[in-house]
Amino acid sequence: MLPSGHRMRRRHEFTLAVRRGNRAGRPHLVAHLYLPSADETAEPEGNPLVGFIVSKAVGNAVVRNRVQRRLRHLLRDRVHRLPAGSLLVVRANPKAATAPTEELVKDVDSALGRLLRQSAKGQ
């Protein structure tokens, strides 16, 4: 389970990450990573926050909750790779409902690696 201190809960955080963050698309998910600049009001010393978007296109409530739990479990082991104060939103595509765990792991690692490389180049 993802620690509660790393869970994104506020709407404006989701909006900020999706609209202003870098994006990496994969077959089963799309990841958005937002890194606040030094002059912004966000606290750079804070924990990185992770949020999930699983729409009704993925499936019914049972399927959506299962997909979200699987993604939350995968990000639990990877949240330490994120810079302090960053915002990560993972949006599940409909294919995520039937994807084997190995493919979800591959997509999460690939998207996260790409976003972290982009952020390193941008600094």
**Per-residue pLDDT tens for 43-79?**
556 899 999 999 999 999 999 999 999 999 999 999 9
Question: What CATH number is attached to the domain comprising 111?
Answer: 3.30.230.10
The residue segments making up the domain with residue 48 are 4-122
Write down the pTM of the prediction: 0.90
Q: Provide the number of structural domains found in the chain.
A: 1
pLDDT at residue 84 greater than cutoff 70: yes
Q: How far apart are CA 19 and CA 109, in angstroms?
A: 22
Q: How far apart are CA 43 and CA 24, in angstroms?
A: 24
